[in-house]
A and B are shown apart, each in its own frame.
Chain A
Amino acid sequence: MRRIVILGGGTGGTLGANRLRKALDPDDYEIVVVDRDDRHVYQPGLLFVPFGLTTIDDIVRPRSEQLHRGIAFRSSGIDHVDLETETVHLGDGTTLGYDVLVVATGAALVPEETEGLTGPGWMERVFTFYTPEGAAALRTALDHFDGGRLVVNIVDLPIKCPVAPLEFTFLADWFFRERGRRDQVELTYVTPLDGAFTTPVAARTLAGLLGEKDVELVTEFNTGAVDGEGGRLHSYDGRDLPFDLAVVIPLHGGQPWVGRSLGLGDDLNFVPTDLHTLQSKARPNVFALGDATDVPASKAGSVAHFEGEVLAGNVQRYLAGQELDGSFDGHANCFIETGFGKALLCDFNYDTEPLPGHYPDRVGLPLLKESRLNHLGKLLFPFVYWHGLLPGRDLPGVHAPMPTRGKVVEETV
């Protein structure tokens, strides 16, 4: 009997475990998933909580129930992994040996790395919607916010779902307009990037939308400190930005246990991973997927989903002593909620930035363009997530390699 240990029971770990369970004979392979708790959060739902469009209860389900029969679930923290002895040292003091290890413990928020962020005013005047507690607290704060300047600030990249802060801003515009208070609220989007987004075509579209919605865009702002009491963001280059309410996306890193595991992680505790095979650079029998890796793809559920297909195949190839498949292309796609029942859709990979056109083919959902259809897609997605994506089913028309047929490549000007 050989054992595959999957650390993390989130999007990547769950769908990876389910795909492997289907592919591998239970008489020969044991699969164990480890997570510190049994609460699987549908993370895209966190965006909607502050606006009262969903609740935490609606977006959390037991992790163990998302795993197929024949997968063992261990609820425990992780102290560290010893790569030499191929052993996971769990938080409860027990150990777990492995033949193959899959790291899927995602990214961790490190708000304490930014001076003042978790000091006075944290969760009173300074919030984040990236945690269930933060999103719930922000709901109350938005309900009571009757005027002043609301800033949405990304401290630095990488962050999970890089479009979520923009979506939050669009929804805040909608929320205050619906309540007749928009003229008392000044919305400001503050980013360390030199535009609204990392890639030029999408940045142009999204900056246009911010403008239409009367949102001020502040770029190249590297937040050095947050003064919750005085209501000010300070940048490293000496700029000061006053606020009445701040929604801050804190710095992200890999999980602390990665840092405690000699030779596994990089300076930020992400796991250096081959871009195309998802094998870790630390050891051939260690693989990684999702937000835990250092691959230059978005930290997003869709990426973990597309990676899952390649990862499950490569773990099998590794076990069979075959050459790995290097086909993962960095594919990501995401609905960008823009408020008023509309959304945009983005589809891209390592080499191709988000472009206009249609997905998945010449006929399909419009790309980089506001539409009601995309909003409906976003609303239906939780169902697809729990019933299609996590169980490791292949979704019709949605495949790991990025499609190019429906995309319109602009002439360079």
Chain B
Amino acid sequence: MPTATYAGRDVVVTEDGFFADPEQWTEEMAPELARAEGIDALTEDHWRVVKFMRREYEEKGAGPTVRVLGKTSGVPIKQLYLLFPKGPAKVAAKIAGIPKPHGCI
């Protein structure tokens, strides 16, 4: 698997750029990850979502979908799209260093 460097540290990532090992993630890496996704500055609202994703992953072993995020994070879906225009669940998962949310079959 490829590696990438964030906050001066090498991490293993999947083909589409998600962390292969979420343990390697630190908060210092988030701004750099966000810039790569076209988000220049992480606001308090961005952080709220990123931290929520991280907590959900730690509790349940998977990041939430946009719909669940809208229901449970306290941030409505419309606002989630304003924060992460390219797709809240995917982009926030990438910035939070957790695996890509599973598409259901």
Contact = CB atoms under 8 A, between A and B. Distances in A.
Interface of A: 156-158, 162, 193, 198-199, 220, 222, 224, 236-237, 251, 267-268, 296-298, 332, 348
Contacts of B68: 267-268
B66 A158 contact: no
Interface in B54-105: 64-68, 71-72, 77-78, 80-81, 85-87, 102-105
Given A156-B67, A267-B71, A268-B68, A236 B105 contact: no
Given A162-B105, A198-B104, A296-B104, A251 B67 contact: yes
A268 B67 contact: yes
A237 B71 contact: no
Contact of B103 (A198, A267, A268): A198
A267 B65 CA distance: 11
Given A267-B72, A296-B104, A236 B67 contact: no
Nearest to B68: A267
A251 B65 CA distance: 13
Nearest to B102: A296
A336 to B, nearest CB: 14
Nearest to A159: B104
A296 B78 CA distance: 27
Given A158-B104, A158-B105, A296-B105, 11 more contacts: A156-B65, A157-B104, A224-B78, A224-B81, A236-B77, A236-B80, A237-B81, A237-B86, A267-B72, A297-B105, A348-B105
Interface in B1-57: none
Contacts of B105: 157-158, 162, 198-199, 296-298, 332, 348
B54 to A, nearest CB: 17
Contacts of A237: 81, 85-87
Contacts of B66: 156, 222, 236
Chain A interface mostly: loop
Nearest to B67: A156
Nearest to A297: B105
A70 B90 CA distance: 50
A153 to B, nearest CB: 15
Contacts of B77: 224, 236
12 contacts: A158-B104, A162-B104, A198-B105, A199-B105, A222-B66, A224-B78, A236-B81, A267-B64, A268-B67, A296-B102, A296-B105, A297-B105
B68 to A, nearest CB: 5
A251 B67 CA distance: 10
Contacts of A332: 105
- Of the listed residues A162, A267, A332, the one surrounded by the most CB atoms of chain B closer than 10 A to its CB is A267
A237 B64 CA distance: 19
A263 B65 CA distance: 21
A388 B39 CA distance: 56
Given A222-B66, A268-B67, A268-B68, A193 B103 contact: yes
- Of the listed residues B66, B81, B85, B104, the one surrounded by the most CB atoms of chain A closer than 10 A to its CB is B104
Nearest to A268: B68
Contacts of A236: 66, 77-78, 80-81
Nearest to A199: B105
Nearest to B56: A267
B45 to A, nearest CB: 16
Contacts of A298: 105
Contacts of A198: 103-105
Contacts of B81: 222, 224, 236-237
A298 B64 CA distance: 18
A348 B77 CA distance: 33
Contacts of A251: 67
A157 B66 CA distance: 11
Contacts of B80: 236
B55 to A, nearest CB: 14
A199 B104 CA distance: 10
A276 to B, nearest CB: 16
Nearest to B85: A237
Nearest to A222: B66
Contacts of A157: 103-105
Q: What 6 pairs between A and B have smallest CB-CB spacing?
A: A158-B104, A236-B81, A157-B104, A267-B68, A298-B105, A198-B105
